[in-house]
Amino acid sequence: MTGRLIAAIDTPELPRAQALVRALAPHCGMVKLGLEFFLRHGPQGYVAAAQGADVFLDLKLYDIPNTVAGAVRSLLPLAPRLVTIHAGGGAKMVAAAAEAAAQAGAARPKILAVTVLTSFDGAGLAETGVAGGTAQQVLRLARLALAAGADGLVCSAHEISILRDAFGEKPLLVVPGIRPAGAALGDQARVMTPEQAVAAGADYIVVGRPITNAENPAMAARAIAEAIS
């Protein structure tokens, strides 16, 4: 199903983002815009880049509940399909984000919680005062976020089965760190292929550089979409 592929448009340049979205939208369920783009071009740039495509807006919000609720309300006119927040902001913050999103009714953005950034290892987490390792912290924060009203989680492919075992089929699992067989890893260390991640239970896979750095991004996206259809 083409709809499971999300293409990450990781560029701060508006014309490049527009060209990529035009080329990729027919082959993807959504495009992902992040902080790098949104902080430079703002809501107007978002509209100009999206050109009507469905958007996963990856801003990883983290602040006091009142501020995060206000931030989500500020995004509602843009109608992103998915918005990220940090589960580490706590249950009240997650609930505030979910309640703010609900104000948009049926077309509300779904709230995805980020648990532990993949840039952390156990030692890095320990430095922040979290003992017990990343796997335990991912599960703890996932439980907190889902109980507080998050629609789903961003997770690595290697966390899918443990999260499905713990929380069942309902949470949306959105999975970056995906590499088609033979693709360059870049800075992603623990990857899965698109087929493996979908077979493991991913609702959506997020793919950036293997598509955007390809000689023909549209063909690269189409090949991935076909591989998981």
Residues near ligand C5P (CB under 6 A) are 8, 10, 34, 118, 154, 176-177, 186, 188, 206-209
Residues 104, 158: Cα–Cα separation, whole Å = 33
The residue among 118 and 134 lying less far from ligand C5P, judged by its C-beta, is: 118
Query: In whole angstroms, how close is the CB of 66 to ligand C5P at the nearest point?
Result: 26
Cβ at position 106, least distance to ligand C5P in Å: 27
**What's the CA gap between 41 and 53, in Å, rounded?**
17
Query: Residue number with the shortest CB distance to ligand C5P?
Result: 208
CA–CA separation, 53 vs 30, rounded Å?
7
CB 202 within 8 A of CB 156: no
110 is catalytic: no
Task: Determine the Cα–Cα distance for residues 150 and 175; give it in Å rounded to an integer.
Answer: 16
Nearest CB to ligand C5P, comparing residues 34 and 45: 34
Compute the least distance from the CB of residue 207 to ligand C5P, in Å: 5
Q: How many angstroms separate the CA atoms of 205 and 110, rounded?
A: 16
16/73 with CB nearer ligand C5P: 16
Active site residues: 60
